[in-house]
Chain A
Amino acid sequence: MKAFTYERAKSPAEAAAAVAGREGAKFIAGGTNLLDLMKLEIEAPTHLVDVQDLALDKIEETNDGGLRIGALVTNTALAAHPKVRKDYAVLTRAIVAGASGQLRNKATTAGNLLQRTRCPYFYDPNMPCNKRVPNSGCAAAEGFSRQLAVVGTSDKCIATYPGDMAIAMRVLDAVVETVLPDGKTRTIPMAEFHRLPGDKPWLDNTLGKGELIVSVRLPAPVGGQHFYHKVRDRRSYAFALVSVAAILNDDGSGRVAFGGVAHKPWRVEAAEALLPQGAGAVVAKAFEGASPTEHNKYKITLAERTLAGVIAEARS
């Protein structure tokens, strides 16, 4: 690990300014992903701004009947919150489908949104990777791509966003709330928070330098039956090959987002409108224009079958 200096910020605006004003500075919250990457020197910050004292660890009800989740609420606390379990079950289900108990106790809401890809070439400094070293090339496109993205890819990157929580937040129309280095605030809909790789795959999301997530807002509950089905190589503690976050209504309508298939949670509103016609119609529309590799084209079939399983469970 490269050497770094360390400070604890006292307010969100101070933290944002501290990171914005210093080359090589980064926020640290739970640290479960950042420290892993720092040990491998994939991340090498020269200064860490610890945000743990910012009192962003509360879950509060909002005036419109929704919830405001503090950036530092742990995955465990969020998954276990009574109102989340009752009214936003897709979120609890997604969180407990990810990582291990130890990691969920430490990982935070904001940190989870900022989790970096698990593409094996991103993790291997001996290989080119445009996400790790801009414009160095992409070893994944012609390489071992079984776990990687099938849709929304570019010729520069086929990495996936690896998390589960954000897939549920996308289906719930969550909004990310931030503080900028000048103290102003901004809101970013989950749909626009993560970005597609395009020509700049080293950018995972639309946050600016020093912009700090302070909370995630959930709109009022929408009812329906909630599902998070995750298909992975082992039964627990593995990243998704494909996951389906869905909220289904009695009349067959609903919402659906896919995980493990793209650089961001993959929700296509025009595709979910086809839910009454069944999984085949939804997946055909959602994965229109997909460009899978020989190794990961199975994911499109798997997405359809996983969604079909969810729909069958909703009807039973």
Chain B
Amino acid sequence: MPSIPTPPITRRGVLVAGAASAAVTTVPAAAQGPAKAAKIAPVPVKLVVNGKEVELELDTRTTLLDTLREHLKLTGTKKGCDHGQCGACTVMVNGTRVNSCLTLAVMHQGDEVATIEGLGTADDMHPMQEAFVKHDGYQCGYCTPGQICSAVAVLKEIEAGVPSHVTGDLTAPMAMTRAEMTERMSGNICRCGAYSNIFDAMSEVGGAKA
């Protein structure tokens, strides 16, 4: 009897399987098999990722998230829900934060993409990364790259005067307050519930008033 090789169970493997089973509840059975549609030629895509120009040949369906993770092996950016609900895939495109799962690589010809890998390194951390470490802004860490990218962008958005749902006077300069930060981070879910520590980290970097 041939033995079936058992792949070692990894933390990453479990997470990927978990995400897949969550998706299955809404995907029709026909969609789970290999694509039967006529073969569509891959298209050339040019991006600037963390300051480095990259050229790829991609299926038109490839999201920016899958491009980063599967093609460029930049696995810092995480796939959580893959539907724009959790924020784990947050990256900067041309300086603004977006959900990389809800956009296609072909839509970003020539765009500048910045991921957590471009923000800082273990030896030379970005101030927001340092603050997350100092304030324990994570537990399992899966949402953390998205939280940090979003946190950096949120402080810039407040500085730039982008209003939010909690802004009082829309014509006055925005205030760097904890309420503003909390509201603007609502697109980043942390199932461990490290929120209060995340806001401590952001408050320190942003110099928040109470």
Contacts and interface: CB of A to CB of B under 8 A. Distances in A.
Interface of A: 1-6, 28, 30-32, 35-36, 39-41, 46, 48, 50, 52, 76, 79-80, 82, 85-86, 89, 92-93, 96-97, 99-103, 105-106, 123-126, 235-237
A92 B99 CA distance: 22
A101 B183 CA distance: 9
B187 interface: yes
Interface string B109-121: 0000000000000
Majority secondary structure, B binding face: loop
A85 B163 contact: yes
Contacts of A52: 107
B150 A101 contact: yes
A92 B161 CA distance: 13
A99 B40 CA distance: 33
Contacts of B164: 96, 101
Contact of B157 (A46, A101, A106): A101
Contact of B184 (A36, A89, A101): A101
Nearest to B161: A80
Contact of B163 (A6, A79, A106): A79
Interface stretch (B26-34, B130-138, B199-207): B26-34
B27 A41 contact: yes
A72 to B, nearest CB: 12
A236 B30 CA distance: 35
Contact of A103 (B82, B99, B161, B185): B99
B96 A105 contact: yes
B63 A35 contact: yes
12 contacts: A3-B35, A3-B38, A6-B106, A31-B103, A31-B107, A41-B28, A52-B107, A89-B170, A100-B186, A101-B184, A102-B98, A106-B98
A101 B97 contact: yes
Nearest to A35: B102
Contact of A31 (B104, B170, B187): B104
B84 interface: yes
Nearest to B108: A52
Contact of A5 (B60, B63, B170, B185): B60
B31 A41 contact: yes
B107 A28 contact: yes
Nearest to A53: B109
B187 A103 contact: yes
Interface string B125-148: 000000000000000000000000
Contacts of B183: 236
B60 A3 contact: yes
A2 B187 CA distance: 27
B103 A5 contact: no
Interface of B: 26-28, 30-31, 35, 37-40, 43, 59-61, 63, 82-84, 87, 90, 96-99, 102-104, 106-107, 150, 153-154, 157, 160-165, 167, 170-171, 183-188
A6 B61 CA distance: 10
A123 B187 CA distance: 21
A237 B96 CA distance: 19
Given A30-B103, A31-B103, A36-B84, 14 more contacts: A1-B61, A3-B60, A3-B61, A36-B83, A41-B27, A41-B30, A50-B107, A80-B160, A80-B162, A92-B163, A93-B170, A101-B164, A103-B187, A106-B98
Given A79-B163, A96-B167, A236-B186, A103 B84 contact: yes
Contacts of A86: 170-171
Nearest to A37: B83
Contact of B150 (A93, A102, A106, A123): A102
B89 to A, nearest CB: 9
B97 A102 contact: yes
**Residue of A28, A32, A50 ringed by the most chain B CB atoms within 10 A:** A32
Nearest to A38: B61
Nearest to A41: B31
Nearest to B98: A106
A106 B99 contact: yes
Contacts of A96: 163-165, 167
Nearest to B189: A237
